[in-house]
Chains A and B, each alone.
Chain A
Amino acid sequence: MNPESQFTTQDNTGAGQQENPVGWESMLHIKPRQRFLSTAQIQGLHEATLSLMERTGFKVTHEKAKEILHSNGASVDGDRVRLPGWLVEKALSTAPSQVVFFDRNRTKPVVLKDDDTWYGPTVDAFDYLDPDNGERRPFTVDDCRKTARLADALDNFTWIMTIGVCSDAPSATSDRLIAKQVLANSTKPLLFCCGSMDSMRDIYDMGVLIAGSEERLINQPNIIGFQAPISPLTYDDALIDRLLFAAEKGLPQVCYSGPQAGSTSPATLAGTVVQGSAESLFGIILGQLVNPGCPFVYGAFATIMDMATTIFSYGAPEMNIMASAMAQLAHHYSIPFFGMSGCSDAKFPDSQAAVEATFSCFSSSMSGANMVHDNGWLDHSTLISPEYMVLVNEVIEKVNRYMNGMRVDEERLALDVIDKVGPSGHFLMEPHTMNHFREVWYSKLFDRTTTAAWRAAGSKQFHERLKEHTLKIMEHEPEPLPKETAKELEKMAKNWM
């Protein structure tokens, strides 16, 4: 469980905890967890992945990368690079099993490890669904400011992304502009995407400026890189430049392709998992060869192509099957997993969107995905909706409460109080009730009132309450950057033009 986002219960200080050693206590605290694959299935997928990497290999045109791979034992034939199994296993053995990054103040670490799940928003939405008037329009630099502030306010978004693509900024520098917006409007750690090496360096420099020194940025990073190889099996030069830069610096990065079953990967789920896994591992291996121990997050956005419409589905159950399988492979490799949830093919934060978000958030937590993005994304990755971000934040909170499971110990078995109350009594006035009733989760959004109270409060349907709640949260004022830092950032931005 993610300690930042989970619903805090009195359990944390509850009776019995002090008397029990940690191991005993954790045995008594039952938490749900899904085992999606059998050991034999994991082995089968792993062996197939090794076979693909050795037999088919990857297209690489980056000369330096080819040299590095070749000198470490890969076969290089023109632009085709094939990796022997022993090289894969050797290189993966140095990838860290924990990846840690921080907020701007270096007080709230995000620790990607084991089954802990940390949720965050998304990146590169084209359009913005305005909660004020319900209109859909192109995403702007100012929308980036608004959504960054919103994500800053939402407790269950423990890290942040740049959320949209700005329609009102020059395309060559917009990736830096929105990264600057987010760094200025949220203290949460930023997972950033960028195009050119110039962008990569500029965003890295912003990170150094905010951290105060390069050493502090690397020791306690508040920015994380993101590399997306092209399916099937293609690593372009710009990506390799960025990947090598981050790897050499020791900056954490996510290596995440997007195989689409039936078009850019096989139509079968197992084949798509194997291909997506190989695509992510290849980047991690390259990073380990230049700087053993540099931090990576593994994964792939494996979903299906909808053969009726050609869209890349963000609500398909097959997406969750493949993510669950890959999360388990990540545990097998002892590398944190990058997942997706809280996203939908629906056009509004409506019932379909709520169902798809609930399904994917639940599945992500149950499978132990570590860093889970795309929360709040609609219309198969084209539309960001503040209201949907708020709705998904609530879904995550509910899922987190579920994942926190229940304790089974003497105090909680409560036989003494049951005996005291006896048949036909009630528990409302018992001190035991006072001590424990607050362990129950209460939603700020989901309605449990009586019909009479609901009518008295204006008979508001869910979407009306969601809108009101969203607009209220959007008034949040984030902690500003120190004045000097903000001034320096503006100076930097002038040099990008």
Chain B
Amino acid sequence: MTDLSAIQDALLTGDAEGVKNSVQEAVDRGVDADTILNDGLISGMDIVGEKMQTGEMFIPEVLMAAKSMSEAVEILKPFLKDGGRNRVGHVVIGTVKGDLHDIGKNLVTMMVESAGFEVTDLGVDVAPETFVEAVREKNPNIVALSALLTTTMPMMQQTVDALAESGVRDQIKIIVGGAPVTREFADRIGADGYAADAGGASKLAKSMG
């Protein structure tokens, strides 16, 4: 059993330099890169997630931990079996067309990244056909749709429909979220999952990864 607790300790305090140094040390000691990633960084982020749920850590601290992790992953990439691609999964995310709000979508992006996913962020005001193109190009396993306005919620339906009509629906899971979005709405429009907050979205993505 390799001791990776130094990595986790640094991760929990959002100490990016500390995380990078500990990861480099482990690499130098000859520890397998995939072990460092899975048992050090990703399991460390799981602890971060738990601490956020119990109120011990707050969002900015979680995001600092996530940022520390992404920087450390860069060190590991050359040593990872698949070169660091599609480690846990790949999420294409965006705020649907007509909606310019992005803070919720950004939070989900950062949380999902911190869970080890590769994320393609399409930004805001994303048309259904742009989502379809991104799925064809990037080959993700999850598409995440965000909306803040009740007036743009119907665009979620249109996006789901466009993905179905283009023939890529079976290769992806679609998850939706945003303040006015409910589980009932998600079911109605034919999405595969719904989460009430960014932490929930990260868990949901993992359960589908």
Report A's interface with B, CB cutoff 8 A. 424, 426, 428-429, 433-434, 437-438, 442, 450-453
Contacts and interface: CB of A to CB of B under 8 A. Distances in A.
A453 B54 CA distance: 11
Contacts of B107: 428
Contacts of A426: 102-103, 106
Contacts of A437: 58, 60
A438 B110 contact: no
Given A437-B58, A438-B58, A429 B63 contact: yes
Contact of A428 (B59, B183, B200): B59
A79 to B, nearest CB: 63
B196 A434 contact: no
A428 B60 contact: yes
B110 A428 contact: yes
A452 B200 contact: yes
Contacts of A453: 196-197
15 contacts: A424-B102, A426-B106, A428-B59, A428-B63, A428-B106, A428-B110, A429-B60, A429-B63, A433-B60, A434-B60, A434-B64, A437-B58, A452-B197, A452-B200, A453-B196
Nearest to B194: A452
Contact of A450 (B64, B67, B106, B197): B197
A450 B60 contact: no
A424 B67 CA distance: 20
Nearest to B58: A437
Contacts of A428: 59-60, 63, 103, 106-107, 110
A442 B54 CA distance: 13
A438 B67 CA distance: 20
From A426, A428, A433, name the one whose CB has the most chain B CB atoms within 10 angstroms. Answer: A428
Contacts of A429: 60, 63-64, 67, 110
A452 B196 contact: yes
Nearest to B123: A424
B197 to A, nearest CB: 5
B117 to A, nearest CB: 18
A451 B14 CA distance: 29
A45 B194 CA distance: 64
A429 B107 CA distance: 10
B61 interface: yes
A457 to B, nearest CB: 10
Nearest to A429: B63
Contact of A451 (B59, B102, B196): B196
A341 B110 CA distance: 45
Contacts of A442: 55
B59 A450 contact: no
Contacts of A438: 58
B202 to A, nearest CB: 14
A294 B103 CA distance: 60
Interface string B180-201: 0001000000000001110010
Interface string B1-43: 0000000000000100000000000000000000000000000
Interface string B96-133: 00000011001100100000000000000000000000
A186 to B, nearest CB: 28
Contacts of A450: 196-197, 200
A437 B14 CA distance: 15
Nearest to A431: B64
A308 B56 CA distance: 51
B60 to A, nearest CB: 5
